[in-house]
Each structure stands twice: as structure tokens, then as C-alpha cells.
């Protein structure tokens, strides 16, 4: 099944521009600037939303965050942005957060965690867990009473890791939305070979991102690779995966092991789409439909 024609148009434009790498080690500033420019250039609308920049006072530090609200929220979604743990920020993911708000009626709190390689594992994970714990303890101030985590790509990895910790800490988490997540930093999967290049996120990019984040740490640590964690008792989990994504098979494998462990899991595999499709809704009807389906899945738990 070929790539969705509207998505292919985007890939053709990237190819015409020389198909630049997302990340080359040692060139963090250039990667961040390029990723940010692409994110800000994408169609986006915050019209009608109450958007506020805040600071989360955590132990020994503060973290920037951004809240998105439309009317009286009925729940809270703590969101962690993607970007391979190396690039990305609050601004690059405005459109994803706005979509979740509009489709679910929840307040979204987007967390701006520290990035590798300057701050490798476990710093990004610790920021995300501490931010979630702070928000969860004050969920009445952030839209509650129900609360979920969400993230895309590396953010999906962090959301899954936070869900594991929430279970271990006895924190009631209502759902997790994982968009084309990185779930196994150690394993080798067929999709990484099949989709190694030509679909924006390459296997070389992913390997470089993981190396920067891991920085020599044990890649089977469940806080880095949720695939290796205990699965029983995890919250309901919604996973969105793309057919032309190096990370596709991690999603399907994770969904399978969750289901075998009795977890309420929904896997949506979109065979004609690529990594990053949730943020491409404005340029592809298929991406828009996929985003709507995934947010509807999340809304059922909120």
C-alpha cells in the first residue's frame, strides 16, 4: 500500500530540499533551529483557546510549561513533546496540544523538559515524572478530576515511562496516548530496516537520538525503554502507529505485550502514513482522520 498521496507531496518537498538529516551529533543548535522552523511553519491555530505560559516549581529547579484550555475543562492531559529527546519545545507542539484540547475538552499541560545531549537520561525522564507528579497532586487546579498522559515519538516514550511510574507509585492514571512512540532503545525491529530512509525520520536519525539520550546508560532500563518494564496494572493505553515509520514495530509489539498482560490497549495502525502524522492534519485528510480517531479514543477515558 503506497504512502498517502498528500503525505507523499510533503515527502517530495523534503526530498527536493535535499532531505536533510534531523540530527547529526555535535550539531544540536542547527538541529533545534531547523526543527523549530519547520514546526512554526506548519499550519496552526490557537484561536479561541486560553493559552498560558507557567512555571512548575519542582525540587531544585523550575520547568517551563504551557496550559491550553477551551471553556471549563473536564480532565487534565499532561503532554510531553517529541523530538528525539534532543530537539523540540513548547512552541513546536502547539498544534498537537490544541488538537487534543479541542477534541477531548480536557486542559492540556505541555511540559518543556531538559534535552540531551547536554542533559541525557535520566534527566528528561525525571523532569517529566516530577512535572506529572506536581500536576497530578494539584489536578483540581489543572482541569481534573481525571488525568492522562500523552506524547509523540520521544514524548510518547516519556509518557509511557511516566505511566509505569504512576502505576508503581499507586497514582490513579486514567489513560495514556502514545503517538508513534519510541518504546525500545535496545531492540532491533524489521520496520527500522524497511523504513530506514525516505520517510522523514530515518534509522540513522533515530540511532543518533538514542545514543545522545542514553549516553552509555543501560538501554533496557524501563524508564528509558518501557518495553522492558512490568506491564500488569498499567492504565488504559491508546497507541497510534504509522506503516512507514522506523518505530512501527515497537508500537505493535508493545500493544501485544500489554494485551497479554491484561491491559486495556487500543492500537491504531495507519499503513499509509509516516512518523509525525498527528501534526500533519492540516495537509492530509488521512492524517486528520487518524488524529480524530486517536483523540476520540483518549476522550472515552476522560
12-16, 131-135, 224-228: least confident range: 12-16
Mean local confidence (pLDDT), 43-55: 93
- Cell 490497549 belongs to residue: 265
DSSP bridge partners of 64: 55
Q: What is the band of 17 on the pLDDT scale with cuts at 50, 70, 90? A: confident
* CA 143 vs CA 20, 60, 78, 107: distances in Å: 40, 26, 11, 6
Buried b (16+ CB within 10 A) or exposed e, 219-236: bebbbbbbbbbebeebbb
Q: How far apart are CA 170 and CA 299, in angstroms?
A: 23
Main-chain phi, psi angles of 156, to 5 degrees = -65, -35
Q: How far apart are CA 244 and CA 197, in angstroms?
A: 10
Residue-level pLDDT at 118: 98
The DSSP annotation for 193-227 comes to: HHTSSSSSS-HHHHHHHHHHHHTTS-TT-TTT-GG
Residue-level pLDDT at 207: 98
Mean pLDDT, rounded, of the chain? 97
Q: In the chain, where are the structural domains located?
A: 5-300
Please write the tens of the pLDDT for every residue from 137-166: 999 899 879 999 999 999 999 999 999 999
pLDDT over 90 at 257, yes or no: yes
The predicted model scores a pTM of: 0.98
DSSP conformational letter for 131: H
User: What's the fold here for domain 5-300?
Assistant: Rossmann fold (3.40.50)
pLDDT over 90 at 44, yes or no: no
Residue-level pLDDT at 19: 84
Q: What is the band of 253 on the pLDDT scale with cuts at 50, 70, 90? A: very high
What proportion of the chain, given as a percentage, has pLDDT over 90? 95
Residue-level pLDDT at 43: 82
- Cell 528525539 belongs to residue: 84
Question: Which positions ≥6 away from 258 have C-beta within 8 Å?
Answer: 231, 234, 237, 265
* CA 135 vs CA 54, 140, 240: distances in Å: 12, 9, 25
- Cβ(19)–Cβ(204) below 8 Å: no
Residue-level pLDDT at 154: 98
pLDDT over 90 at 41, yes or no: no
Q: How far apart are CA 221 and CA 235, in angstroms?
A: 20
pLDDT over 90 at 284, yes or no: yes
Task: Kindly report the length of the chain.
Answer: 302
- Cell 533551529 belongs to residue: 33
Residues noted as catalytic:
153, 245, 275
Amino acid at each position: 500500500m503506497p504512502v498517502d498521496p498528500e503525505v507523499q507531496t510533503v515527502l517530495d518537498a523534503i526530498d527536493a530540499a535535499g532531505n536533510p538529516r534531523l540530527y547529526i551529533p555535535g550539531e544540536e543548535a542547527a538541529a533545534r533551529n531547523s526543527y523549530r522552523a519547520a514546526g512554526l511553519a506548519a499550519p496552526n491555530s490557537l484561536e479561541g483557546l486560553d493559552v498560558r505560559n507557567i512555571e512548575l516549581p519542582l525540587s531544585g529547579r523550575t520547568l517551563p510549561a504551557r496550559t491550553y484550555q477551551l471553556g471549563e475543562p473536564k480532565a487534565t492531559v499532561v503532554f510531553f513533546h517529541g523530538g528525539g529527546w534532543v530537539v523540540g519545545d513548547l512552541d513546536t507542539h502547539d498544534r498537537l496540544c490544541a488538537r487534543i484540547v479541542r477534541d477531548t475538552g480536557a486542559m492540556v499541560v505541555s511540559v518543556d523538559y531538559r534535552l540531551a545531549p547536554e542533559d541525557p537520561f535520566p534527566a528528561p525522564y525525571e523532569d517529566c515524572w516530577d512535572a506529572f507528579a506536581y500536576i497530578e497532586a494539584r489536578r483540581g487546579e489543572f482541569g481534573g478530576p481525571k488525568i492522562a498522559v500523552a506524547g509523540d515519538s520521544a514524548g510518547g516514550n516519556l509518557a509511557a515511562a511516566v505511566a509505569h511510574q504512576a502505576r508503581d507509585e499507586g497514582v490513579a492514571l486514567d489513560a495514556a496516548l502514545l503517538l508513534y512512540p519510541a518504546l525500545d532503545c535496545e531492540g532491533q525491529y524489521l520496520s527500522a530496516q524497511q523504513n530506514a530512509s525516505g520517510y522523514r525520520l530515518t534509522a540513522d536519525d533515530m540511532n543518533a537520538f538514542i545514543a545522545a539520550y542514553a549516553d552509555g546508560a543501560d538501554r533496557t532500563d524501563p524508564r528509558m525503554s518501557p518495553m522492558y518494564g512490568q506491564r500488569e496494572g498499567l492504565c488504559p493505553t491508546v497507541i497510534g502507529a504509522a506503516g512507514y515509520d522506523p518505530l512501527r514495530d515497537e508500537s505493535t509489539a508493545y500493544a501485544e505485550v500489554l494485551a497479554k498482560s491484561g491491559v486495556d490497549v487500543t492500537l491504531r495502525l495507519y499503513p499509509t502514513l509516516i512518523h509525525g502524522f498527528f501534526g500533519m492534519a492540516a495537509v492530509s485528510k488521512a492524517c486528520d482522520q487518524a488524529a480524530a480517531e486517536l483523540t476520540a479514543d483518549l476522550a472515552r477515558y476522560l
